[in-house]
A and B are shown apart, each in its own frame.
Chain A
Amino acid sequence: MSDWQVKYKSSLKDRGTEGILKLREGILLFVPNDPTSDSKLKVLTPNIKSQKYTKEGSKKPAWLNLSNKQGDSHIFEFQNYQDMHACRALITKALAKCEEEQPKKPAAVLTSAEQLSIADLELRFKVLRENIELQRLHKEFVETKVLTEDEFWATRKKLLGKDSIRKSKQQVGLKSMMVSGIKPSTDGRTNRVTFNLTSEIIFQIFAEKPAVRQAFINYVPSKMTEKDFWTKYFRAEYLYSTKNTAVAAAEAAEDEELAVFLKPDEILAQEARQKIRRVDPTLDMEADQGDDYTHLMDHGIQRDGTMDVVEPQNGQFRRSLLQDLNRHAAVVLEGRNIDVDSENTRSVAEALARVKQVSKADGETTKDANQERLARMSRLAEMEDLQAPQNFPLAPLSIKDPRDYFESQQGNVVNEPRGAGTLKRNVHEAYGSLKESILEIRTKGLRDPLIKPEVAFEVFRSLTQTISTAKNIIGKNPRESFLDRLPKSTRDEVLHHWTSIQELLKHFWSSYPITTTYLHTKVGKLKDAMSNSYSQLEAMKESVQSELRHQLSLLVRPMQQALDAAFQHYDADLQRRTAKSARGSAGEANGSV
């Protein structure tokens, strides 16, 4: 029922006016009991933004708080929690229905144990929309309360689960744009340089520059606040961009934290060196030498596009564009390997550091790995013509003789005489008579008359009879099925009955053995629905034309048999229960009949 006796409060402190809350097609209507009061309320369901409610366990009364788009909130106090939950469920459903037309962010996630999120409901609606048959079943059973929503969907998790699994599996990659390198905005008037910092940029900075990450973990919050940290970092960036290495060197000498940002990244250099050590020695690493951080900074395009030659003592305060690009590319290719997406910079830094530790631990060369590398090196370095001949074990080729297949078919002919005469045939005789026949026909020609009229007539008659009787039994086409001959409505009905009976029987048989009253009521409802179906089948059989009736009853028989079996089982079980409870003494606690 979509009408509830409620008290409407416009705010928590309000006493509340009693009235009736009605939920109709897209509209929520509150009519106060007192006709003179003017707190009549009409809310369109699309306008409802969110709903909050009080938990069942708390001592508070059952309140449902609806807030709409304009920001007002309406509080309804229900008489009991059941009503409130029912109302809430309906509102959720209605909301979900509206949301498929205008997608907006789903309302507050409901936290009750058996409630579904809006996304789930949306998914269910989508599945129902796409599958007409399922929709029909759903309408027939769930809306007539034979089955509950949960039961209906319990066996169809596959349909629901597919989409959601698909959505969550896809990982988002990293941007290939170097957001960490975007130039700041400068304000010439006030001489201020403004750097922008978002979590994406922070992530990139931590991923690409492990020294900065390490410094963050070390300094914040022990030595300086996060804000200070970033200020220093950006000061370093600014110094880089000014090409003024003297100033950079001076500031680095003063401020050791700043110096961390200005030095070349020691951690990265170490990683690169390790990687190089592990590379196969037969690989030509000449090109790679220029890429890593052990290279001397005497050529290359600088970060800001210039190509100046730098004095050696200030060389460390310059970075080359190639290095930065390569490092960024390496990070993007590695992908997003942590799932932390929080605003907390520290946790991001720590997560990244952890990941690096793990990969470092994996990569450490053990003794065995070293042995293997040496073995591989020696294998690659050997000279082919100086080797001894190697005899690898060969599997012999086995090509079968195709004649085996054909001959095996005739091989085992059993030499036993077949029924109907084991006459030793005389080959000569047989062929002789055949030849005579041919001679005869050559000399005498075709028979005249070829065929007697009575015989011909007889043939026609028998053929007609055969064909007409066969048509009644089989139909025009040997491959045409009986279903096609039924009128369309009957056919659809039969097919629908088939699926609905299957569904009912599935739930029926899964409820046995009956252990709780819930199952008991469920079985009762199912049985009623099944008897309904049974009588519908009978009615359908009567309604069909007489020549199709026999075939239809043959078609319908397995369904009826299945239903009969279910009924039998139900009756037997019921009898057993009544007998048991009748026999049981009065002290028996659970005589559930």
Chain B
Amino acid sequence: MASVASKLYSDDVSLLVLLLDTNPFFWDTTSTTFSQFLSHVLAFLNAVLGLNQLNQVVVIATGYSSCDYVYDSSLTSNVSSESRGTGGIPALFGSLLEKLEDFISRDAELSQGDEHVDRIASSLLSGSLSMALCYIQRIFRTGHLHPQPRILCLQGSPDGPEQYVAVMNSIFSAQRLMVPIDSCYIGTQNSAFLQQASYITGGVHHAPKQLGGLFQFLTTIFATDLHTRGFVQLPKPVGVDFRASCFCHKKTIDMGYVCSVCLSIFCEHHKKCSTCGSVFGQSKLDGANASSSVNDRKRKAPDS
């Protein structure tokens, strides 16, 4: 969690990029409705914006077949003429909701084709992560004065192993840019991607049990800016799930074969690596290709 302090105009100004999970198949199956969830999230965004005058918030919706930016607090066109400000909605978020609705309609159209595909109901996390990183990169290039960016991933859908490579690439880019990825997992199963993302980039991962108190979770844990995290204790997971998914079948595996040239992971013996094209030779042990195995590590022991 290295802070890029020299670039700030104040220590605690932050840019929060929120990746909102709008996978309808997931929201179908939860007890909390999407509207309740949204209200928690909107209040949280308001709180973040209230912490510092210069804070910025960007919301990217992670859909089933597409992703899109739905809100950017630095744009001046946020207060649209249509927002009525009734019923307690902050006028600020009128456009957010509008754009979200449009996005969902578009996503629905895109998903028409996949009517009966038996895919795991995962959202496009890799897409939204990439979009977030692009936005952050643009912010970096505006000069020295910019807020400290971080990414918050609000995810409920399970991981899609077919996105493993893309997600890992995004995670390493974020690590390079020194942008922490916080993750709040509200689903039922464990998300290995999010755990790894937070571990590698130095962010915070938490999986709250009660969704009724989501707002409290969000403001306690995820609203702290990066400078403050130096002296605030945030919860950390006891272990990190480091399992990878194989490149050939996209299954999550514990042990497999690794290509020694490009480090791609396979679950069964191949003659040739499909990523880099290198031919595997015969090893001494019964014809398996010469490689190590990927183990399931519950905890990565830090080097002293």
Give A residues with C-beta under 8 Å from B. Answer: 400, 405, 408-410, 412-418, 420, 422, 424-425, 427-431, 433-435, 437-448, 450-452, 455-456, 458-460, 462-463, 466-467, 470-471, 473-474, 476, 478-484
Assuming the A-B contacts A412-B248, A413-B250, are A405 and B275 also in contact, with contact meaning beta carbons closer than 8 angstroms in the complex? yes
Main secondary structure of the interface of B (DSSP, over half): helix
The answer to whether A430 touches B24, judged by C-beta atoms less than 8 angstroms apart, is: yes
**Closest A residue, CB atoms, query B120:** A418
Contact partners of B105 in chain A: CB under 8 A: 431, 435
B220 is an interface residue with CB less than 8 A from chain A: yes
Q: Which residues of B113-133 are within 8 A (CB) of A?
A: 114-116, 118-121
Give bound CA distance, A460 to B221, whole Å.
10
- A434→B215 contact, CB < 8 A: no
Whether A451 pairs with B213 at a CB distance below 8 angstroms is yes
Contact of B97 among A438, A451, A482 (CB under 8 A): A438
Q: With A and B bound together, what is the CA distance between A450 and B41 in angstroms?
A: 10
Q: Decide if B280 is an interface residue (CB 8 Å cutoff).
A: no
- CB contacts under 8 Å to A, within B182-240, are 189, 199, 208-210, 212-213, 215-217, 220-221, 233-236, 238
User: Is the C-beta of B283 less than 8 angstroms from some C-beta in chain A?
Assistant: no
* B145 nearest CB across to chain A (Å): 29
CB atoms of B25 and A467 under 8 A apart: no
User: Quick one: given A412-B248, A413-B250, A445-B86, are A434 and B43 in contact (CB under 8 Å)?
Assistant: no
- Report chain A residues within 8 Å CB of B27: 430, 433-434, 437
Q: Are A463 and B100 in contact (CB under 8 A)?
A: no
Chain B neighbourhood of A446, CB < 8 A: 39, 42-43, 87-89
Q: Which of the listed residues A425, A451, A460, A482 has the most CB atoms from chain B within 10 Å of its own CB?
A: A425
Asked if B249 lies at the interface with its beta carbon under 8 angstroms from chain A, I say yes
- Closest A-chain residue to B107, C-beta based? A431
* Residue of A412, A427, A435, A480 most packed against chain B (CB within 10 A): A427
Are B89 and A434 in contact (CB-based, < 8 A)?
Answer: no
Once A413-B250, A415-B118, A434-B27 are accepted as A-B contacts, the answer to whether A441 and B39 lie under 8 Å apart by CB is yes
Min CB gap A557→B, angstroms = 14
Nearest CB in chain B: distance from A488 CB, A? 14
Query: What residues of chain B have their CB less than 8 Å away from a CB belonging to chain A?
Result: 22, 24-25, 27-28, 33-36, 38-40, 42-43, 86-89, 97, 100-101, 104-105, 107-108, 111-112, 114-116, 118-121, 162, 165-166, 189, 199, 208-210, 212-213, 215-217, 220-221, 233-236, 238, 247-251, 274-275, 277, 302-304
Question: Which 6 A-B pairs give the minimum distances between C-beta atoms?
Answer: A445-B87, A430-B24, A445-B88, A437-B34, A431-B108, A481-B304
Q: A425-B25, A460-B220 are in contact. Are A450 and B215 (CB under 8 A)?
A: yes
Most chain A CB inside 10 Å of its own CB: which residue of B101, B216, B247, B303: B216
**A481 near B101: Cβ-Cβ < 8 Å:** no
- Bound-state Cα–Cα, A413 to B163, Å: 11
Report yes or no: B213 in contact with A455, Cβ–Cβ below 8 A: yes
Q: Given the complex, which residues of B lie within 8 Å of A483, measured CB to CB?
A: 304
Query: Are B118 and A409 in touch, CB under 8 angstroms?
Result: no
With a CB–CB cut-off of 8 A, which chain B residues contact A444? 35, 87
> Closest chain B residue to A430 by CB distance?
B24
Between A and B, 24 residue pairs with Cβ closer than 8 Å are: A409-B247, A410-B162, A414-B250, A418-B118, A424-B116, A427-B111, A427-B115, A428-B108, A429-B28, A431-B111, A433-B28, A434-B27, A437-B34, A438-B101, A438-B104, A446-B42, A450-B43, A456-B213, A459-B216, A459-B220, A462-B209, A467-B234, A474-B236, A478-B236
User: Which chain A residue has the least Cβ–Cβ distance from B303?
Assistant: A481
Closest B residue by C-beta to A441: B35
Known: A409-B162, A459-B217. A427 touches B114 (CB 8 A): yes
Given contacts A459-B217, A474-B238, contact A414 B249 (CB under 8 A): yes
Measured CB to CB, the nearest residue on chain A to B116 is A424
Give min CB distance, A525 to chain B, whole Å.
Answer: 31
Which of B87, B108, B166, B221 sits near A463, CB closer than 8 Å?
Answer: B221
Q: Given the complex, which residues of B lie within 8 Å of A482, measured CB to CB? A: 304
Q: Which residues of A contact B302 (CB under 8 A)?
A: 478-481
Contact of A435 among B38, B104, B247, B249 (CB under 8 A): B104
Task: Select one of B24, B43, B236, B251 contacting A431, CB under 8 A.
Answer: B24
Chain A residues near B121 (CB, 8 Å)? Answer: 425
CB of B80, distance to nearest CB on chain A (Å)? 12
**Nearest A residue to B165, CB-CB:** A409
Q: Given the complex of chains A and B, what is the CA–CA distance between A456 and B212 in angstroms? A: 9
Least CB separation from A484: chain B residue: B304
What residues on B are CB-neighbors of A414 within 8 Å? Answer: 249-251
A455-B212, A460-B220, A478-B199 given; name 7 further pairs at CB < 8 Å: A410-B162, A414-B249, A431-B111, A441-B35, A444-B35, A459-B208, A481-B302
